[in-house]
């Protein structure tokens, strides 16, 4: 794994930040995107490089303009020798999902379209650029999309997100089937409710947190590191025959 390169969208907080540190501490160079907090992203890069002695670069990127992944990867090409792993992690919440976050009868096209763009279109555009490089390198690679169990169990106000998570998991299967011939594996990691800023944006955050701990066989809500560890595993040779799968990391909540 040492000397290889991870590209991940959304690396400044939550699951993305945990992935950045998990891969870096195992000797992997990291290229990650940020949306608005440039200085915070730069500080993460400085900490990564000083602590783990790997290369780390950050790039401004708007997940609602996934077509610009092409330009982003050209910048990454200038800074790194290869692209070995790609994780589609960045998501949207807050004002961008107005009309997409709510009960069924309140859903509106604009919010739903934004969620689809940031979830499915972003995965497709990012994975295409990563796969082109993996194919050219001839060494294979691993692509991972983050998902959630909101497409398996009912979560209040989550219809917009849940249906798009189902869509991206299906897209993962198609990508895996067509890219396998190049040694490129594609999987999804589906988390039960994870204690992140995105979850805190839920109007019923405290209720969801308490209910998750109640439903979990492990009596706690999930942490970003729980998903980061699984993303890392899927990129190692220990997962060399795992592709086209959605790995549930839910503390047993979907069974209750």
CATH code of residue 158: 3.40.50.720
User: What number is the average pLDDT over the span 33-47?
Assistant: 96
- The neighbour count for residue 96, using CB atoms within 10 Å, is 18
Q: What is the mean pLDDT of the chain?
A: 94
Please determine, for residue 126, whether its predicted confidence score (pLDDT) is greater than 80. Answer: yes
pLDDT for res 209: 78
pLDDT for res 201: 66
In this structure, what is the dihedral angle of CA atoms 90, 93, 95, 101, given to the nearest 10 degrees?
130
Strand 56-60 to 29-34 pairing: parallel
Tally of structural domains, the chain: 1
Active site residues: 158, 165
pLDDT for res 64: 97
User: What number is the average pLDDT over the span 37-48?
Assistant: 97
Label residue 123 by pLDDT band (50, 70, 90): very high
What is this structure's pTM? 0.94
Label residue 62 by pLDDT band (50, 70, 90): very high
Q: Exposed/middle/buried for 234, CB within 10 Å: 0-12, 13-18, 19+?
A: buried
Secondary structure, 3-state, the chain:
CCCCEEEECCCCCHHHHHHHHHHHCCCCEEEEEECCCHHHHHHHHHHHHHHHCCCEEEEECCCCCHHHHHHHHHHHHHHCCCCCEEEECCCCCHHHHCCCCECHHHCCHHHHHHHHHHHHHHHHHHHHHHHHHHHHHCCCEEEEEEEEHHHCCCCCCEHHHHHHHHHHHHHHHHHHHHHHHHCEEEEEEEECCECCHHHHCCCCHHHHHHHHHHHCCCCCCECHHHHHHHHHHHHCHHHCCCCCCEEEECCCHHHC
Q: What share of the chain in percent tops pLDDT 90?
A: 81
The tens digit of pLDDT for each residue in 197-248 reads 777 766 677 877 788 888 888 988 889 999 999 999 999 999 999 999 999 9
CA distances from 145 to 22, 89, 155 (A): 17, 6, 20
Higher pLDDT, 5 or 199: 5
Query: 115 is written with which tokens?
Result: 């969620």
pLDDT for res 213: 83
Residue 201 lies in domain: 5-255
pLDDT for res 196: 77
Strand 85-88 to 56-60 pairing: unpaired
Q: What share of the chain in percent tops pLDDT 70?
A: 98
- The neighbour count for residue 206, using CB atoms within 10 Å, is 10
């Amino acid at each position: 794994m040492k000397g290889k390169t991870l590209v991940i969208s959304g690396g400044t907080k939550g699951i993305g930040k945990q992935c950045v540190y998990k891969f870096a501490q195992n000797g992997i160079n990291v290229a990650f995107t940020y949306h608005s907090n440039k200085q915070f992203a730069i500080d993460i890069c400085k900490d990564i490089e000083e602590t783990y002695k790997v290369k780390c670069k950050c790039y401004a990127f708007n997940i609602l303009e996934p077509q610009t992944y092409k330009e982003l990867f050209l910048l990454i090409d200038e800074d790194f020798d290869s692209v070995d792993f790609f994780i589609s992690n960045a998501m949207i919440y807050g004002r961008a999902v107005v009309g997409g976050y709510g009960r069924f009868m309140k859903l509106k096209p604009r919010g739903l379209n934004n969620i689809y763009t940031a979830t499915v279109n972003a995965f497709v555009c990012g994975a295409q650029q990563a796969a082109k490089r993996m194919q050219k390198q001839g060494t294979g690679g691993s692509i991972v999309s983050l998902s959630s169990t909101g497409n398996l169990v009912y979560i209040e106000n989550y219809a917009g997100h849940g249906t798009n998570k189902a869509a991206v998991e299906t897209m993962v299967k198609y990508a895996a089937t067509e890219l396998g011939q190049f040694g490129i594996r594609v999987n999804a990691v589906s988390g039960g409710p994870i204690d992140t800023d995105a979850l805190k944006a839920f109007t019923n955050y405290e209720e969801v947190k308490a209910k998750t701990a109640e439903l979990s066989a492990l009596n706690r809500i999930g942490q970003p590191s729980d998903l980061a560890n699984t993303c890392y595993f899927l990129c190692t040779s220990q997962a060399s025959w795992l592709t086209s799968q959605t790995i549930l990391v839910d503390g047993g909540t979907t069974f209750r």
